[in-house]
Chains A and B, each alone.
Chain A
């Protein structure tokens, strides 16, 4: 399945999009996507608590492969 690339979204729009998507996730479901460094810095804290965990791997100069998991 193709990993969505959200790097072109603004940080605010990405945050809103992720909040909407993750609200529909079931336990142990994962969401993978690409983000920019700035976006990754913004989403780290809100998605590392309250039944979510987040990991991100830098794959390019300004690109992260991010996985959000619902617990």
Chain B
């Protein structure tokens, strides 16, 4: 029996919603009793999709399935000024609007639905964005606080601009002080006998000017960060992904399967990485490929799909001046494509939509359509209890 969950805190593009639902519908075709549940957990800007007319047919299609449930963060809904009466009645009957007991209610329910005694009682949150520019640093604090409340060990992995959540001496005038909140959570965790592990990628830290002072073999303390926020090689963060515990990020998915005697409950969860941004305007693609490479080097079954704007990484003859300090993404892709258990795919509907095609210089990449994407997911999760879906 297979269960999917998707956690959306950011705006979901129509394209993304379409391919996700398309993919899920293919699971039903194989065996009507195969699927146990599909749970959507939505907060933040993702809530706008419930009222946005362009998304109605997608939500109605999703909700019409008996195995789909949608849990909405009523507290965030209140903040952005949306009422249940603003939402199409065809949806409200099927959506679970969580009561606002406190700001953590959504997260408590999320953890209750997704934590499992077979996996360790740990919640990991991988943070990609800095504080204040993105509200999702508040969500990570809320998620980790809820984890502590539930007796789960909290872990924060700061990658790319996520490093900045751990910067010392933050003094925002109008927002939750994220640095101070993390310090408070560390103290709260200690009271409950839990250790709050906070790791920041040292490559990202070095790029962003964080000073480094060696602490011990694996972790470094930086004079620029809050106490207990350690910088480390990306491999130390990926080592956490070898474990079976729940890990989420602002846009994340997970698959669990059960009641299957062939499942290996000890195996590292495979990972599906969707590269959704173009190659050079942001660090997403380089960061995603670096992360994928590190996962594969840790013997984690890793599948990378270039999808949405991610297909732009594959197009054209990308050239640089000799002294240009930038990693050629296509060259990087070709360089790492022979790593064991790391495979690359390009989503053909995204290519077609953008009138784009894969450069002839790209090696070892397979084009897949919607049905083949479902098959890829099915094959990736085979024989494992838990599979992670990440978006870069």
Contact = CB atoms under 8 A, between A and B. Distances in A.
Interface of A: 10-13, 15-16, 19-20, 22-23, 38, 42, 45-46, 50
Contacts of A11: 203, 233-235
B233 A19 contact: no
Contact of B203 (A10, A23, A46): A10
Contact of B202 (A10, A16, A50): A10
Interface stretch (B57-65, B189-197, B332-340): B332-340
Interface stretch (B109-117, B289-297, B375-383): B289-297
A7 to B, nearest CB: 13
B335 A20 contact: yes
Nearest to A9: B203
Given A13-B203, A16-B335, A42-B235, 13 more contacts: A12-B290, A12-B294, A13-B327, A16-B293, A16-B327, A16-B336, A19-B293, A20-B332, A20-B334, A23-B334, A38-B233, A46-B297, A50-B340
A23 B334 CA distance: 8
Contacts of A10: 202-203, 206, 233
A16 B297 contact: no
A42 B286 CA distance: 19
A33 to B, nearest CB: 16
Interface string B327-368: 100011011101110000000000000000000000000000
Of B234, B327, B335, chain A has the most CB atoms within 10 Å of the CB of: B335
A63 to B, nearest CB: 15
Contacts of B297: 15, 45-46
Tell me what chain A mostly uses at the interface: helix, strand, loop, or mixed.
helix
A46 B339 contact: yes
Given A19-B336, A20-B335, A12 B234 contact: yes
A2 B235 CA distance: 30
A12 B334 CA distance: 16
Given A38-B233, A42-B235, A12 B293 contact: yes
Interface string B264-303: 0000000000000000000000000010011001000000
Contacts of A50: 338, 340
Contacts of A16: 290, 293, 327, 332, 335-336
A22 B338 CA distance: 11
A22 B331 CA distance: 12
B27 to A, nearest CB: 35
A21 B8 CA distance: 39
Contacts of B235: 11, 42
Closest 9 CB pairs of A and B: A19-B335, A10-B203, A20-B335, A12-B290, A12-B203, A19-B336, A23-B335, A11-B233, A16-B332
Contacts of A15: 293, 297
Contacts of B293: 12, 15-16, 19
Nearest to A18: B335
A41 B294 CA distance: 13
A6 to B, nearest CB: 14
21 contacts: A10-B206, A10-B233, A11-B233, A11-B234, A11-B235, A12-B203, A12-B290, A12-B293, A13-B203, A13-B327, A16-B290, A16-B336, A19-B336, A19-B339, A20-B335, A22-B335, A23-B334, A23-B338, A42-B235, A45-B297, A46-B339
B364 to A, nearest CB: 11
Contacts of A45: 297
A68 to B, nearest CB: 13
B199 to A, nearest CB: 14
A29 B235 CA distance: 29
Nearest to A51: B338
A70 to B, nearest CB: 12
Contacts of B331: 20
A11 B331 CA distance: 18
B324 to A, nearest CB: 15
